[in-house]
Amino acid sequence: MLQLSYIRENKEDVLKRLAIKNFKDAESIIDSILKLDDNRKLAQRQADDVKAEANGLAKQIGEMMKSGKKEEAETLKLKTTELKQHEKQFDDQLKAIEAEIQKLLVTVPNTPNLTVPKGKTPEDNEVVNEVGVIPVLHDKAVPHWELTTKFNLIDFELGVKLTGAGFPVYKGKGAKLQRALINYFLDKATSKGYNEVQVPILVNADSGYGTGQLPDKEGQMYHCQVDDLYLIPTAEVPITNMYRDVMLKESDLPIKNCGYTPCFRREAGSYGKDVRGLNRLHQFDKVEIVQITQPEKSYETLETMREFVCSLLQDLELPYRTLKLCGGDMSFGSALTYDLEVWSAAQQRWLEVSSVSNFETFQTNRLKCKYKDANGKTQFAHSLNGSALALPRIVASLLENNQTVDGIKIPKVLVPYTGFDFID
RNA sequence: GGAGAAAUGGCAGAGUGGUCGAUUGCGGCAGUCUUGAAAACUGUUGUACCGUGAGGUACCUGGGGUUCGAAUCCCUAUUUCUCCGCCA
């Protein structure tokens, strides 16, 4: 959520940036917000004045009662009854305006960084680099959904029976490979100073609002209505919300957390060949990294996070490319996002495996996560997060890229974790 | 799941209808003393909003109510603790 004072002071800049994100009706919404805020100020002043008067009278009544001037007190009481009605009226008015402002404010996306490329579709994303060698497969090479069946690694049909499409059952070496990747990712993150946390995978609505999934992505999350809890779409939600309503000290920063969780996404509206096999699932595993930093350090931090994720892909010997997302392809709350995509050799396409973003104060404003700087001034911290990494598409490209006529090679770095170096 | 108790500032913990944004201690910050530090002593120390300012308003877990006036009384939600039951 943008800060109202920031919008007021930088209206032109905000509009210019929102245009990069192709946010429709930006000007009319911003104008409505500012106008409502003017009304809010007026309403508060009226409410405060009435309350001040009532408070003063109550104090007088108290003194009169004490000194035995009962009759005078009774006359004053009559006066306050009238004031009370005004008070309620102004209060209701104020509350209504505030609710209206909030309702509009949460629909405004974060302002992108000025270096974000203009554009509307994934085709407009800027390719930052391409690393690694695209493998040339043998004649009989097949996509991963055939390999997982052939080597009995994943049973998609069984998942359909247990739950539905998009909930695969991993078996044998397939299951072990999952565990190996998770452990490898966590070990590497903790070796870089990230503190490992294990968090709930169901969160309440406050947490959903805190990181911006609500109200923007309401329909994308599984919702347990009986208890009004949401299954997390990413560990970002619980991990970042650990700092909701928290006042940090500057010496606490940067905060670096990592955590493994399953992730749940309804993916309403997705279908077709792009969702085959492991390409798009309703439940998948992911290790997430989250940082909270001082504002002036967040972009530097974003780069180190991106480099960290790249190092994982290099270790896994997967060819990848880095994209700087254009305004139209960025998420609601992000100010700058890098996507990392691995090459899927049998499908002949790039698969997104990580998204690394700087949210600046967009989340911390909602979370009310502040810190005291060296001058004793409190201000919002910046929050960042990135996938490091999401498993399914990593598995897809590992299997496809490393297939030989006899079986599948496991990258060296994973062998200590899997206990095998070949699947056949 | 049943019965009871509780929720106050960064922390601990007073406060049971008016003079309470809230005693006190610890912690933090500043100063005195000291070569420096510790100890001791002195002062200071919540957040948000409105107002050019003086100042005003709100907040004692959240929400509602009673009252001229609520941290204090009532209702409700949530959480915690104790006892009982159940249980990976």
Q: Is the CB of A51 under 7 A from strand B?
A: yes
A316 CA vs B88 C1’ separation (Å): 37
Which residue type occupies A207?
A: S
Q: Is residue A84's beta carbon less than 7 angstroms from any atom in nucleic acid strand B?
A: yes
Angle of the A26-66 helix axis to the A11-20 helix axis, nearest 10: 130
Residue–nucleotide distance: A56 CA to B67 C1' (Å):
16
* pLDDT computed for residue A271 by the predictor: 64
Give distance CA A99 / C1' B17 (Å): 33
Q: Cβ of A61 < 7 Å from strand B?
A: yes
Q: Is the CB of A77 under 7 A from strand B?
A: yes
Any idea which residue has 């990592």 for tokens? A258
pLDDT at A72: 79
> A249 CA, B40 C1': separation in Å?
29
Q: What distances in angstroms separate CA A209 from CA A4, A234, A359, one per listed residue?
A: 17, 14, 14
Q: What residues pair up with A351 in beta bridges, in sequence order?
A: A342
Q: C1' nearest to CA of A62: which nucleotide? A: B18
Answer whether any strand B atom is within 7 A of the Cβ of A247. yes
Q: Which residue has the tokens 């911290």?
A: A381
Write out A348-376 in H/E/C secondary structure. CEEEEEEEEEECCCHHHHHHCCEEECCCC
Find, among A337, A291, A311, A341, the residue nearest to A187 by Cα.
Answer: A311
**Is the distance between the Cβ of A65 and the closest atom of strand B smaller than 7 Å?**
yes
> Which nucleotide's C1' atom has the smallest distance to the CA of A77?
B68
A57 touches A75 (CB < 8 A): no
Residue A70 vs residues A111, A261, A312, A344: alpha-carbon distances, Å:
61, 67, 80, 87
The answer to whether strand B lies under 7 Å from the CB of residue A41 is yes
* Strand B reaches within 7 A of the A127 CB: no
Q: Is the peptide bond before A248 cis (omega within 30 degrees of 0)?
A: no
- Please report the pLDDT score of residue A314 as a whole number: 97
- Who among residues 377-416 of A has its Cβ near strand B, under 7 Å? 378
Query: Which parts of chain A sit beneath pLDDT 70?
Result: 269-273, 375-376
Question: Residue A47 CB closer than 7 angstroms to strand B?
Answer: yes
Contacts of A111 (CB under 8 A, 6+ apart): A2, A13, A14, A17, A18, A21, A335
Its sign, for the CA torsion A264, A269, A270, A273, is positive
Query: Residue A92: what pLDDT?
Result: 85
Residue A386 CA to B73 C1' — how many Å? 51
Statement: the CB of A55 is under 7 Å from strand B = yes
Nearest to A287 by CA among A403, A183, A152: A183
Closest residue to B10 (CA, C1′) = A247
User: Which domains, and CATH codes, for chain A?
Assistant: 4-105 (1.10.287.40), 122-423 (3.30.930.10)
Question: CA of A201 and C1' of B4: distance in angstroms?
Answer: 33
Q: Which nucleotide in the DNA or RNA is closest to residue A87, CA to C1'?
A: B57
Query: What is the helix, strand, coil percentage profile of chain A, to 5?
Result: 45, 20, 30
Other C-beta atoms lying within 10 Å of the C-beta of residue A73:
17
Please compute Rg for chain A using Cα positions.
Answer: 27
Q: Which bases on strand B have an atom closer than 7 Å to a protein beta carbon?
A: 10, 18-19, 47-51, 56-58, 68-69
Beta bridge partners of A53: none
